[in-house]
Amino acid sequence: MVDTHSYDVVVVGAGGAGLRAAIEAHDQGARVAVVCKSLLGKAHTVMAEGGIAAALGNVWPEDNWRVHFRDTMRGGKLLNNWRMAQLHAQEAPDRVLELEEWGALFDRTKDGLILQRDFGGHRYARLAHVGDRTGLEMIRILQQNAVHKGIDVYMECTLQRLLTDGGKIAGAFGYWRESGKFVLFGARAVVLATGGVGKAWKITSNSWEYTGDGMAMALEAGADLIDMEMVQFHPTGMVWPPSVRGLLVTEGVRGDGGTLKNKDGKRFMFDYIPEFFRADTADNEREADAWYEDKKNNRRTPDLLPRDEVARAINTEVKAGRGTPHGGVYLDIASRRSPEFIKKRLPSMYHQFKELADVDITATAMEIGPTCHYIMGGVRVDPETAAATVPGLFAAGEVAAGMHGANRLGGNSLSDLLVFGRRAGAGAAAYASRTNARSVDQAQVEAAARAMLAPFEAEGGENPYSIHAELQDTMQSLVGIIRTEAELKDAIVKLDGLSERVDRVSVEGNRQFNPGWHLALDLRSLLQISKAVTRSALMRQESRGGHTRDDYPKTDAEWGKKNVVTRARGGKLELETEPLPQMPEELRQLVMSEEKQGAPA
């Protein structure tokens, strides 16, 4: 007999979005379970550094939701779902203040309010933060809140398949990591809060958990994915030594005054200001440096252009031979801020470089380069309820799409988790309250169980670790920051080849806490989602945000009106374009305005 549980709402994932969803669904009266692959409190949110973007207006009273909305839409190169961006900008301040009600202790202004810091693409200092460990504060507060509410948490439990009944969600099926035994959840509604797929790339800031399983499960259950070509490479990852390559260096370094330099000591970002941001961006060092203190009379430093712009610029500098000895560029805060300031504002960066690279960031510049960080694409959702296109399925956070368009601004992820985590929890609870429990289809369960055990039966197959390494090499070299048709087609052939090999993968040992087996199963979702990314990237014949085509280097107005949609039909991926929801005229004007101050409240 399979270990079986029954809930109104099952939340998959215990990062910021999952915990916030669970808390909301619980408060709305639903019986809720959270199911997560790691121990509680270890999800990716814990690694978030810089802060939570919210127009609280504590540092710059001029800030308001309209300015935040405008920044978000422009940062996303207008591919965002406008309604999500609007709800996000409007609700983020309340979600931050709510964390304070639950015990969060953000850094303070002189007046005792929540301090806000500068970040890329944000007009005003807007990120509520705790030094450079904001994610830790956020996940711990949400975790403790969920525990106090008595919400059931199933830790180290991996869900592999969504169960459907007549096209509607009926539950989910997976295994306990510790014992390898199967577990079945009956549920009226499922909230996916499973994060992204960064582990498909070799140089990544993401942990082992980021294998795209939520997206793969959604696809299999019949849901739409959109914008899968939009992958964010964070400009500043560590590059040396090799063992830490890809580890995140917070944008807060630049937010707090750090600047990018090439090997000649030149602040090269001034050479990379795109037309789209020219009116908002300082074109000389004096103005850029003055902006930190005086935002009324100066434009933003190009060091804090949106991430896609900065990552491409670094990529170009390195390719032109102006990089550091280890293939990055320099990020210098040592010559610009005092050691005391740096240690106070960026304690974990100081610690990370000191311990792992023997570099004292208060004395020398860091060597950094782009690292795969985030996927803007994911499950298509309704802005109000976070409902996916399959009845009973909801999605929030990185696994969902639309909010960030073609490129996410730093700080907008943590606020996204809170705003849409809450909305997903409410949406799922409301759905569960008006629907009957559906019956579990034993055939689906048995098929999933058979597939999960297959790697134990295969003999003489390949080691999952070597296939994973090849997948990472493929995505890194062929589906990276700069893409071309030939390389993307090459990648599709390689990914198909890897899929065939994954079908024959074999694992050693038994089902008890067996990482080789776990990886063998994760590889299936990694590959499926890598294919969705690659094929979407091939389809979009333009460059926009996190998607740059060397063969189509310009942004194309027609492509700006379309989402690329991915569906799975009969196990095969089908792609098409669909029109992007058009925003109301008033908001469109706001977004396109070139006023330095954004717009009045």
Residues lying near another protein in the complex (CB under 8 A) are found at 38-44, 46-47, 97, 100-103, 105, 107-108, 111-113, 130-131, 133, 135-137, 140, 144-145, 147-148, 155, 178, 207-209, 240-244, 247-248, 348, 351-352, 355-357, 462-466, 469, 507-510, 512-517
The nearest distance, CB 108 to another protein, in angstroms, is: 4
Strand partners, 281: 300
CB of 251 vs another protein, minimal distance in Å: 16
CA angle 94, 100, 104 (to 5 degrees): 135
Residue 184 contacts residue 446 (beta carbons within 8 Å): no
The bridge status of strand 225-226 relative to strand 378-379 is: antiparallel
Strands of the sheet containing 116-117, edge to edge, are 52-53, 127-128, 116-117
Identify the active-site residue in 26, 88, 133, 254: 254
Closest approach, Cβ 54 to another protein, in A, equals: 15
Closest approach of Cβ 422 to another protein, in Å?
A: 19
Identify which of residues 205 and 301 has a Cβ nearer to another protein in the complex: 205
Token digits for 110?
């002189």
Nearer CB in complex with another protein: 83/140: 140
Local structure of residue 437 (DSSP, 8 states): P
| Residue 63 C-beta: closest distance to another protein, Å | 16
Q: Which helix (H) or strand (E) holds 418?
A: helix 412-433
Q: Which CB sits closer to another protein, 285 or 508? A: 508
Nearer to another protein by C-beta: 506 or 530?
Answer: 506
- The per-residue DSSP string of 376-392 comes to S-EE---TTT-B-SSTT
**88 a catalytic residue:** no
Identify whether the C-beta of residue 444 lies closer than 8 Å to the C-beta of residue 164: yes
CA distance 577 to 580: 9
Nearest-approach distance from CB 351 to another protein, in angstroms: 7
Q: Which is nearer to another protein, 42 or 531 (CB)?
A: 42
3-state secondary structure 459-500: CCCCCHHHHHHHHHHHHHHHCCCEECHHHHHHHHHHHHHHHH
Q: Say whether 567 is catalytic.
A: no
Burial of residue 380, with CB atoms counted within 10 A of its CB: 0-12 exposed, 13-18 middle, 19 or more buried: buried
Q: What distance in Å separates the CA atoms of residue 233 and residue 308, rounded to the nearest whole number?
A: 7
The minimum distance between CB 375 and another protein, in angstroms, equals: 18
The minimum distance between CB 490 and another protein, in angstroms, equals: 22
Q: Which residues contact 15 (CB under 8 A, 6 or more apart)?
A: 43, 44, 45, 46, 139, 193, 195, 397, 417
By beta-carbon proximity to another protein, the closer residue of 130 and 429 is 130
From 20, 66, 74, 234, active-site residue: 234
Of residues 46 and 228, the one with the C-beta less far from another protein:
46
Between residues 97 and 449, which has the closer beta carbon with respect to another protein? 97
Which residues make Cβ contacts (< 8 Å) with residue 90, sequence separation at least 6?
A: 65, 69
- Distance from the Cα of residue 266 to its chain's centroid: 31
| C-beta separation of 543 from 553 below 8 A | yes
**H/E segment holding residue 191:** strand 182-192
**Residue numbers annotated as active site:** 234, 254
